[in-house]
Structure 1
């Protein structure tokens, strides 16, 4: 069964500065190693449908999602339509700036069977796939930190 995943980082910048980076989908390719584009139809807001272009290695593929949480300076989350996972960023003010926690939560139904098969056959199995996801989450948080602390 797929696991829920989490990574976090402390950033020496106020939540509003971190939020400005996260909420600006034009910067998505700058902060994530796998998403080239994320377009929110009708603007970035609760309930917005997004069209995404992703890249892993030489593979480029589209996905779609719906923004399920959009609370300025606090929380941003979107649910992937293809696999029902929720990707979330929570911002917590700290004495020195902001703690950002990124999570991937798997739906109670689990991943669709076709995706579990693809992970097993084409991505080295769930353990390797999830390790790669966590490494990507950590890279994303490092990039957000670098951008916010400039």
Structure 2
């Protein structure tokens, strides 16, 4: 059974500055080691669909998602249509800036066909999830660096 995955980082900047980076779809590939491109089909808001291009090592694969939460300076979440996982960023103000939380939730489990693909093509669920957590840490570190350098 897939697990809920979470990573957090403290950023020395207010939520508005963090949000400007996190919600910029054009910069996704700059931060994520797994997402090459994420293109919203319309203005980003709850209900907007996205088309995504992802990679795992040398393997590339397309996905689609739908934004399920879009609250400027607070939270952004999207549900993957292929496996029904929900990826989110939550911004919490702190005394020194912002705590940024990235999560992957699996509210209804992953379908058997998708799990078989993960086992056959992506090295199995445990390995795939470990890579995702590593990628989340890398993503948050890159976002922190960009925000704190005012980029």
The interval holding the TM-score normalised by the smaller chain is over 0.9
**Are positions 1:46 and 2:36 aligned together?**
no
Give 1:123 deviation, angstroms: 2.6
Once superposed, what is the RMSD of the aligned Cα atoms?
0.9
Q: Equivalent residues in 2 for 1:21-36 (5 A)?
A: 21-36=21-36
Superposition TM-score, scaled by structure 2 size: 0.95
1:125 and 1:39 map into 2 onto residues whose CA distance is 28
For structure 1, the residue ranges without an aligned partner over 5 or more in a row are none
For structure 2, the residue ranges without an aligned partner over 5 or more in a row are none
**Are positions 1:20 and 2:50 aligned together?**
no
- What does the per-residue CA deviation read over 1:24-78, in whole Å, with 9 as the maximum and x for residues that have no partner? 1011111111111111111211110000111121111110000000000000000
2:62 and 2:121 map into 1 onto residues whose CA distance is 17
Contact 2:56 2:122 in 1 (8 A): no
- What does the per-residue CA deviation read over 1:92-113, in whole Å, with 9 as the maximum and x for residues that have no partner? 00011000111100032x1111
Q: Where does structure 1 differ by over 6 angstroms across 4 or more consecutive aligned residues?
A: none
123-132 or 66-75, which moves further after superposition?
A: 123-132
| Aligned twin of 1:113 | 112
1:85 and 1:114 map into 2 onto residues whose CA distance is 14
| Aligned twin of 2:64 | 64
